[in-house]
Amino acid sequence: VHFASDNTSGVAPPILDALVAAASGYAPAYGDDELTLALDDRFGELFEHEVRVFPVVSGTAANSLALSVLTPPWGLMLCHEQAHVYVDEAGAPEHFTRGARLVALPGAAGKIDLEALRVVAARGGHGVHTSDPSALTLTQATELGTVYTPDEVAARAAIAHEHGLGVHMDGARFANAVASLGCTPADLTWRSGVDLLSFGATKNGAMGAEAVVVFDLDRVGDLERNRKRAGHLLSKMRYASAQLHAYIADGLWLQLAAHANGLAADLSSGLAGVDGVEVATPTEANEVFAFMPDELIGALEAKGAAFYVERVGDRPAVRLVVSWSSTPDDVEAFLAAARSGA
């Protein structure tokens, strides 16, 4: 049973179909093809806002490119202390920004603490000696399976904007967040103060496609140059674009996400009923975090369950990631194993 990560899943059939359909014939290279050229309009409709869309093939690239136009080399990029940009990207944001600094902020359940943000965001502006806060990045859904409400995003974005910081959202699991909240993509982004979004598709059914979506068009800046210079301007761009089109067509992205979220909720409530198991954070998207006895963890692993152990607060917690391709049987099998002490 594969709960290690949603990026172990395959490709959702409609996306694969779109790839196959796009695979024949000629198309201009480097993004001058029709599929890519149509992205701005198509995403503009989805987000109810004029946007610029820049496809890339990894979340790390999307996040780093977005940050690269929000911060100078002497800027500070504020993030949650468990954010992917901070702990899982090997310094890619520093590489793309040519040396800006990530500053980790605390916060319960994966959400940046408002007061901590207020203190650090206010630190800039004292002349040439200091590194100045320049960007805030929020992960949505968070690294701990929770979801910022639009109001929670807005509260953080407002502090950021008050002090001149740009606001980025790492939406590797943006679909799961939107599906969870039942709000519009607009509500959760530019209406709440988000300037740039890393719009993830790979974890939720694509083969390899993410997009930097720019809402504040004044902030496009050097994004195209930085993308090219980082080797992320694809010659056969149409294939990334084809995935993105199929992903958002007919609500596919939200269906896939809702499916995963629903199974995660089942898994979470099931685990809550298992002796000795404690759900560690609210299950609001497609990830379940649970405290478990070491023996149970060992037994589940021995039985072949695939998952990681992360940290919630000071305690180790099992992380179970449900994907678009997970099934009720997968969930039931895991619960049965847990109930039986594996």
Q: Minimum distance from CB of 61 to a second copy (Å)? A: 3
Nearest to 144 by CA among 102, 111, 179, 178: 111
Please report whether residue 57 would count as binding a second copy according to CB under 8 A. Answer: yes
Applying the rule CB under 8 A, the residues between 249 and 268 that interact with a second copy are none
Cβ atoms of residues 28 and 212 within 8 Å: no
Cβ atoms of residues 6 and 244 within 8 Å: no
Of these, 182, 218, 235, 250, which contacts a second copy (CB under 8 A)?
A: 235
Nearer to a second copy, 92 or 290 (CB): 92
- d(CA 175, CA 283) in angstroms, rounded, equals 15
Alpha-carbon dihedral angle through residues 191, 197, 203, 204, given to the nearest 10 degrees: 40
Size of the site for a second copy (CB under 8 A): 72
Here's the x/- map for a second copy, 84-123, by CB under 8 A: it reads as: ---xxxxxx-xxx-xxxxxxx-------------------
Strands (E), the chain: 52-56, 75-80, 101-105, 132-139, 166-171, 196-200, 210-214, 278-279, 287-291, 308-312, 315-321
Considering only the stretches 60-68, 259-267, 269-277, 297-305, report the one whose residues sit in contact with a second copy under the rule CB under 8 A. Answer: 60-68
Applying the rule CB under 8 A, the residues between 4 and 23 that interact with a second copy are 4-5, 7-11, 16, 19-20, 22-23
Of these, 34, 45, 50, 73, which contacts a second copy (CB under 8 A)?
A: 73
Q: Minimum distance from CB of 45 to a second copy (Å)? A: 26
Q: Minimum distance from CB of 281 to a second copy (Å)? A: 21
Nearer to a second copy, 227 or 319 (CB): 227
Nearer to a second copy, 16 or 299 (CB): 16
Secondary structure element (H or E) that encloses residue 117, with its range: helix 114-121
Please report whether residue 165 would count as binding a second copy according to CB under 8 A. Answer: no
3-class DSSP state for residue 128? coil
Considering only the stretches 126-134, 182-190, 245-253, 256-264, report the one whose residues sit in contact with a second copy under the rule CB under 8 A. Answer: 126-134
Nearer to a second copy, 95 or 161 (CB): 95
Nearest to 132 by CA among 120, 119, 115, 118: 120
Of these, 36, 254, 325, 337, which contacts a second copy (CB under 8 A)?
A: 325
Q: Minimum distance from CB of 233 to a second copy (Å)? A: 7
Please report whether residue 24 would count as binding a second copy according to CB under 8 A. Answer: yes
> Which tokens belong to 66?
């977005």
Q: Which residue has the tokens 């995003």?
A: 153
Please report whether residue 248 would count as binding a second copy according to CB under 8 A. Answer: no
Please report whether residue 40 would count as binding a second copy according to CB under 8 A. Answer: no
Q: Minimum distance from CB of 318 to a second copy (Å)? A: 17
- d(CA 236, CA 30) in angstroms, rounded, equals 6
Show the CA angle centred on residue 163, arms to residues 122 and 135, nearest 5°: 95
Residue 143 CB neighbour total at 10 angstroms: 26
Q: Minimum distance from CB of 33 to a second copy (Å)? A: 9
- d(CA 339, CA 43) in angstroms, rounded, equals 44
Please report whether residue 158 would count as binding a second copy according to CB under 8 A. Answer: no
Considering only the stretches 82-90, 188-196, 258-266, 277-285, report the one whose residues sit in contact with a second copy under the rule CB under 8 A. Answer: 82-90
Applying the rule CB under 8 A, the residues between 166 and 195 that interact with a second copy are none
3-class DSSP state for residue 164? coil
- d(CA 258, CA 161) in angstroms, rounded, equals 32
Please report whether residue 207 would count as binding a second copy according to CB under 8 A. Answer: yes
